[in-house]
Amino acid sequence: MRDDVIICRCEDVTYGDIVRAVERGLTTTEELKRILRCGMGPCQGRTCSRLITRIIADKTGRSIEEIEHPVVRPPTRPVEIGVLAGDDEDRRGTGAPAGDDEG
Ligand code: FES
């Protein structure tokens, strides 16, 4: 594979970036994530994490099953503190800003 092939398109990380990192001793997906940010884009690694795991396995001689998967956090959305405090129970969970009295 050519070095300039994009593996993580969200964070613009190439195959060459990952290979060089693995050659420097970063051999887990979590380490690569922290240094290169691959897997931290809007898709949260849904597109690239399997490719990254496969590259690590290829370059270290380990099987894919031996490679740890990165920690996945669920998508979240901002919640106003007043909603958590129960100030505006009618709007809880609607995504509408508290104090927005349209309608
Ligand atoms: S492609 Fe890597 S985080 Fe989206």
Q: Are residues 79 and 43 in the same domain?
A: no
Q: pLDDT tens for residues 5-22?
A: 999 999 999 999 999 999
Contact between residue 95 and residue 77 where contact means Cβ atoms under 8 Å apart: yes
Q: What is the DSSP string of 47-74?
A: TTHHHHHHHHHHHHT--GGGSPPPP---
Q: Alpha helices, DSSP H only, in 1-103?
A: 15-23, 29-36, 49-60, 81-85
Indicate the number of domains in the chain.
Answer: 2
Q: Do the domain assignments include residue 1?
A: no
Residue 39 C-alpha to ligand 1 middle, in angstroms?
A: 5
Whole-structure pTM value: 0.70
Q: Are residues 90 and 47 in the same domain?
A: no
Section 26-49 average pLDDT: 92
Pocket perturbation via mutation, ligand 1, pick of 5, 6, 8, 55 by most ligand atoms within 8 A of CB: 8
> What range does the domain containing 103 cover?
73-103
Write the CATH number for 44: 1.10.10
